[in-house]
Amino acid sequence: MKHIKVLGPGCAKCKTTYNNVLEAIKQTGIQADVTKIEDIMEMMKYDVLTTPVLMIDEVVKVKGRVADVHEIKQLLIA
């Protein structure tokens, strides 16, 4: 099972990234635990300054931009 985190304060880009993650999981059929982190103090623990951030299994894969569904699917099956 993949562990996915989307970090962001709740802006439109962060919400789009989160929704794209859900769609990518649905399309690939991969089992994943998805967590959305919006708390600034919690985000600071990951030492990231630009959001949104997409983490898979505790590794930052995308930061500072919206990852589209196709890109996320590629990251999930890699």
Q: What are phi and psi of 54, to 5 degrees?
A: -115, 120
Q: Identify whether 14 is a catalytic site residue.
A: yes
Q: Identify whether 11 is a catalytic site residue.
A: yes
Q: How many CB atoms lie within 10 A of CB 62?
A: 18
Q: Single out the catalytic residue among 3, 9, 10, 11.
A: 11
Q: Single out the catalytic residue among 4, 7, 14, 55.
A: 14
Closest CA to 50 of 34, 62, 68, 37: 62
Catalytic residue positions? 11, 14
